[in-house]
């Protein structure tokens, strides 16, 4: 187990600086254009693939960093560049985490490379969990997967929503109900391979922020996938369902479902994204406050502005530390006994929302225009308190973990 330290090692600093350079030189100059176009920035993703950022190897290296800090450092720098474009670059990672969290070694080796493609032919992947009537309430999920034993195939039917890369993905990872009587415990995850009949894109959403990231519905109509596309395999699923039924009869402990396993693994990473956006807005506001003069002096000379900046920086650093703690704990195999993963996501998300709002306020009228990036950053920051578990859900998870009570 790696010893915890606040100091990044030389390799981590090199990766951080490399990513920062890419964010500054490639992502930021393109940010405004792709936000206005509301389209997937394929040229930027391809540039990321050419230099090795958008690749299985890069994410594997960061994911297996023994300190646990590889992924949060990477997320912070890319999202410092721009949240919408960065999400287009890293969005495939959620589907990859879904396979890593639930799949066999063979499934990991088979499907994750197909999620990324290569520098000459980049691909993306989508993780499909939320539904029109089942967002935070995963027990209300209606998408069904029925096993056809005669053909060793699973048949999927339903509609998914809010899917990053939904419909344009090469590989879709779909969470579906296999045993309705078990509620959220009766879920499983499936790979839907490229060009599988019956899968189509539904509505593409026009969003308040992260507009360079493609978000859409995914419609599944009698989608047939081979038995080996069930993540983890049928034997493992049957064993898990049997345990869940036994515990349900005994009124026993809660069993995690496939979607929640993915979200728990990714929450600190989302916190790191939020830290990146907050830091970017803070830096713009700090530079502006130093150069903008009113009544014959820079506005940072006023306590009202200076104290805001002090609070902004303090919250950003505190959020980063919570993210790093949760990431280190996960890497070291330490359980989140106090919901540390949810803590990191909650605090960093709320920090991004508040810090970007303060940045707009410091810039005044200029901050309200699209001539300055804090307007876009403020719109982008709103998503962090919503996706992969709302702030309200994070508070519920934390409260239940701390109290051991079924708080509703």
Instruction: Tell me the torsion sign for CA atoms 187, 193, 198, 201.
Output: positive
**β-pairing verdict for 144-148 and 293-294:** unpaired
* Burial bucket for residue 391 (CB in 10 Å: 0-12, 13-18, 19+): middle
What is the per-residue DSSP string for 29-41?
A: HHHHHHHHHTS--
The SS3 of residue 126 is: strand
- The closest of 231, 233, 239, 221 to 155, measured between CA atoms, is 221
**β-pairing verdict for 171-177 and 121-122:** unpaired
Record the tokens describing residue 18, joined without a space.
């490399």
Contact of 247 with 205, CB cutoff 8 Å: no
Record the tokens describing residue 163, joined without a space.
């899917």
| 284 membership: H or E segment, kind and range | helix 258-291
Is 392 an active-site residue? no
The Cα 271–Cα 324 span in angstroms is 9
The SS3 of residue 298 is: strand
Return all residues near 196 (Cβ < 8 A) that are at least 6 apart.
223, 224, 225
The Cα 261–Cα 273 span in angstroms is 20
Contact of 192 with 170, CB cutoff 8 Å: no
Helices (H) and strands (E) in the chain, counts: 14, 11
The SS3 of residue 210 is: coil
- Per the residue annotation, which of 217, 340, 375, 388 is the catalytic one? 388
- The closest of 146, 131, 133 to 186, measured between CA atoms, is 146
The distance from CA 331 to its chain's CA centroid, rounded to whole angstroms, is 17
| 157 membership: H or E segment, kind and range | strand 153-164
Write out the catalytic residue numbers.
388
């Amino acid at each position: 187990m790696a010893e915890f330290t606040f100091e990044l090692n030389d390799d981590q600093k090199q990766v951080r600086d490399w990513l920062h350079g890419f964010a500054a030189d490639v992502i930021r100059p393109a940010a405004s254009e792709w936000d206005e176009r509301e389209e997937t920035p394929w040229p930027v993703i391809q540039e990321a693939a050419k230099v090795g950022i958008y690749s299985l190897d890069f994410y594997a290296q960061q994911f297996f960093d023994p300190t646990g800090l590889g992924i949060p450092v990477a997320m912070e720098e890319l999202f410092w560049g721009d949240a919408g474009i960065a999400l287009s670059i890293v969005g495939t990672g959620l589907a990859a985490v879904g396979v890593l969290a639930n799949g066999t070694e063979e499934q990991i080796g088979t499907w994750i490379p197909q999620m990324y493609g290569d520098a000459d032919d980049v691909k993306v992947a989508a993780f499909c969990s939320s539904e029109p009537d089942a967002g935070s309430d995963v027990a209300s999920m209606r998408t069904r997967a029925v096993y056809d034993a005669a053909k060793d195939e699973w048949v999927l039917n339903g509609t998914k929503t809010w899917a990053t890369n939904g419909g344009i993905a090469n590989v879709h990872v779909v969470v579906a109900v296999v045993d309705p009587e078990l509620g959220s415990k009766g879920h499983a995850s499936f790979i839907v391979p490229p060009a599988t009949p019956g899968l189509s894109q539904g509505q593409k959403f026009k969003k308040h922020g992260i507009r360079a990231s493609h978000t859409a519905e995914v419609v599944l109509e009698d989608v047939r996938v081979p038995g080996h596309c069930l993540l983890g395999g049928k034997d493992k699923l049957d064993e898990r369902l049997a345990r869940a039924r036994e515990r349900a009869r005994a009124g026993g402990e809660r069993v995690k479902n496939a979607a929640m396993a993915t979200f728990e693994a990714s929450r600190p990473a989302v916190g790191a994204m939020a830290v990146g956006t907050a830091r970017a807005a803070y830096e713009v506001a700090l530079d502006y406050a130093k150069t903008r003069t009113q009544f014959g002096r820079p506005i940072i000379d006023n306590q009202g502005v200076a104290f805001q900046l002090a609070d902004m920086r303090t919250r950003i650093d505190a959020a980063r530390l919570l993210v790093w703690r949760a990431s280190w704990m996960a890497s070291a195999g330490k359980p989140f006994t106090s919901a540390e993963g949810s803590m990191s996501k909650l605090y960093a998300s709320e920090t991004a929302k508040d810090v970007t709002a303060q940045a707009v306020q410091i810039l005044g009228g200029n901050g309200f225009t699209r001539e300055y990036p804090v307007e876009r950053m403020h719109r982008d920051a709103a998503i962090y308190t919503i996706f992969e578990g709302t702030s309200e859900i994070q508070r519920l998870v934390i409260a239940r973990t701390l109290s051991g009570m079924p708080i509703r």
